[in-house]
Amino acid sequence: MKIAAVTACPTGVAHTLMAAEALKRTAAAMGHDLRVETQGSAGARDTLTDAELAAADVVIVAADIHVDTGRFAGRPVHAVRTADAIRHTRQVIEDAVALAAPAVSPDSSPPASVPSIETVASIESGASTGTAGSAASPESAVLMQADGAGKRLVGITACPTGIAHTFMAAEALQKAAAAMGHTIKVETQGSVGAKNQLTAEDIAAADAVVIAADTKVDTSRFGGKPVYVTSTKAAIKGGRDVVGAALAQPAGAAPSTSDDVPAPASAADAKGSRAGPYKHLMTGVSYMLPLVIAGGLCIALAFALGGIYAGEREGSLAWALSQIGGETAFHLFVAVLSGFIAFSIADRPGLAPGLVGGMLAQNLSAGFLGGIVSGFLAGYLTKFLAERIRLPATLEGLKPVLILPFLSTVIVGLGMIFVIAPPVQALNAGLNGWLLGLRGANAVLLGLILGTMMAVDMGGPLNKAAYTFAVGLLASKIYTPMAAVMAAGMTPALGVGLATFLYRGRFDEDERRAGGPAVVLGLSFITEGAIPFAAKDPIRVIPALVLGSATAGAISMLANVRLLVPHGGVFAAVIPGAVSGLPAYLAAIAAGTAVTAGALFVLKRPPPALTEPVAPNGRPAEAA
């Protein structure tokens, strides 16, 4: 029988190599053809090819950390700890071989309308006898169905800020699991940390794990569990599909009915490769945001206490706040952005070269553009070196802590100083000069563009690109795009919320109930508050949102409004010094909200179910 195997432990050295050697020798003695790939903090070695996976009858995953099983779709997977593979190798291989037998015979195959059974071996430490390192046994195999009932799941949702998409995805997963007869506990992660944290007991009791994230999430604590990874958008739009796909992991394929849920094999790989750089960038942004917010608030308070020249009065409180915010937090956030982009790509070995490259970008006036370049350079270079450098097994432990950080840091540092920083510095200086000189029609045009990007996909890639652009400029003391972006990001939810009160007959009961919360979300700069409305009627709602946001962005830029804080919405206005030109800022938000509401009056049509007049209180006119 042909067997593919993956062994992995946190370092990728001792247990990984011992398990690999034990599996190879025992399989050969048993007459099986086994190919093994090893994984660890330094990356993968002897990587299994697509041809080898296609030819394999079964896959053995002997791991103490999370291993991506998406490429094994369609193959039975037997998951054990490395200790089991080392101590009870023959038993592990026998169980895997038994698992490769069809779950149902050809004569008793289920009808096409019934999901086929996917066999998953979910072996945990002590699962059979209650003791660590016990032998894997057939009784520990779990038969899962895509529509199986009464399963326990755990999940993590995460987006760069950890606010809108994070909690919307969590709620969607909870509702979907409950509707399907399952239970799920979801931990939410973002720039403010983790909430509703999963305990070791929660994870041990789980049948499957769902990761719905737009940033990098550490999955090492889920070793041995089936893990399904997707985006927050997929969870929001198709919670049932995501839960079903998670319960079918690792041997089952994800549903192909949704474009946002990864499809099996090559299609999933293609989608992942396209989403990779965006996800790495958003990981960097999520770690950068707390520094930007803290630094911006310190600068705003310094301006409020000491005026525009607060930083020049050495020894004063305003000067101290300026040192904390502008000279430290804002000086550091480019390095953090770069470091965690590299971390997302290459794990811990990429962190040092990413941080150093980002700090060099800041010191050499290459700005946030240089930080982005250095982060991707450091990450992909470190990953490349990890895959190419081969050392004796006894020296493998030096790679992640000594060799990779040192080589990558030197190469990235020299590259930044002599090759990358000079042209990026010139580009950055030209961009900053152009933005500082924007007046009149040019300012309006930029405001229109930024406003459109904020509304067209409401938290998607275009929205995040505009936001990241504005946040990055804060380090260069260019504050007008930030004001335009925040004003434009508030008006979609505010506009639809206002419309539900003004023209109640154009919305169904669920939309009318969502109007009030949408206003609160809009005031808090959570553009995603408009998503439920746009999802129901995108052809009419999205153009209305874009018109309002473009209006708000254009007015803000034309009035030269400056905003020092990258989040908080209208509540940032109460912070002394955070907004310059406050009346114009509020006027831009009000105008954008009014345009969105007015456009909805023109474009939106009453839902088919509402055939009778609706009074202002939302009841039929006769009953009002």
- Catalytic annotation, residues: 159
165-187 in b/e form (b: 16+ CB < 10 A) is bbbbbbbbbbebbeebebebbbb
- Report the chain's terminal Cα–Cα distance, integer Å: 74
3-state DSSP of 425-469: HHHHHHHHHHHHCCCHHHHHHHHHHHHHHHHHCCCCHHHHHHHHH
63 phi/psi in degrees, rounded to 5: -145, 150
**Alpha-carbon torsion 502, 503, 507, 508, what sign?**
positive
The angle subtended at Cα 115 by Cα 205 and Cα 80, nearest 5°, is 35
Nearest to 168 by CA among 230, 229, 227, 234: 234
Give me the long-range contacts of 124-128 (CB less than 8 A, separation at least 24). 124/81, 124/204, 124/224, 125/81, 125/83, 125/224
User: Distance from CA of residue 125 to its chain's centroid?
Assistant: 30
Which run of H or E residues covers position 93?
A: helix 89-99
**What is the residue type of 133?**
G
Which run of H or E residues covers position 6?
A: strand 2-8
3-state secondary structure of 211: strand
3-state secondary structure of 229: strand
Give one DSSP letter per residue of 538-578, joined into a string: HHHHHHHHHHHHHHHHHHHHHTT-EE--SS-GGGGGGSTTS
- CB atoms under 10 Å from CB of 410, counted, come to 12
Q: Are residues 144 and 244 in contact, defined by beta-carbon separation less than 8 angstroms?
A: no
Strand order from edge to edge, sheet including 183-190: 193-195, 183-190, 152-158, 208-213, 227-230
Please state, in angstroms and as integers, the Cα–Cα distance from residue 144 to each residue in 95, 116, 226, 588, following that order: 17, 10, 11, 54
Structure tokens, 320: 């101290």
The four Cα atoms 200, 201, 204, 210 give a dihedral, to 10 degrees, of -70
Nearest to 177 by CA among 241, 113, 261: 241
Q: Are residues 466 and 484 in contact, defined by beta-carbon separation less than 8 angstroms?
A: no
